Amino acid sequence: MAKVCRDRGWDQADDLETFLLFSEEVGELAKAIRNERGLFAESARPATSGLAEEMADVLSYLLDLANRFGVDLEAAFRAKEEVNQARNWS
């Protein structure tokens, strides 16, 4: 993902701008989920397969942020899952 970001010039944005773009994509994902569920759906825009595209956009920015901050996202996810496994969820 780091190479993709460099190739597309996305590495020119600073960390704050990248985080704000990530947040914007999360908002677009929320809108796609809302439309998919028919909650406050916009009559001018039918529900589409945009849900998968918005999830991919969110993932792209999350991976970019992880690279920028030197976070091994897979290792972080696995470590957090170990913590979660030990939690009492009831």
Q: Kindly report, residue by residue over 10-32, the tens digit of the pLDDT.
A: 899 999 999 999 999 999 999 99
Query: What is the amino acid identity at position 42?
Result: E
Two tokens, residue 63: 């991976």
50-68 and 15-37 are packed helices; what angle lies between their axes, rounded to 10 degrees?
Answer: 160
Largest CA distance in the chain: 47
- CATH number assigned to the domain covering 2-86: 1.10.287.1080
- pTM, 2 dp: 0.80
With a cut of 90, say whether residue 50 has pLDDT above it: no
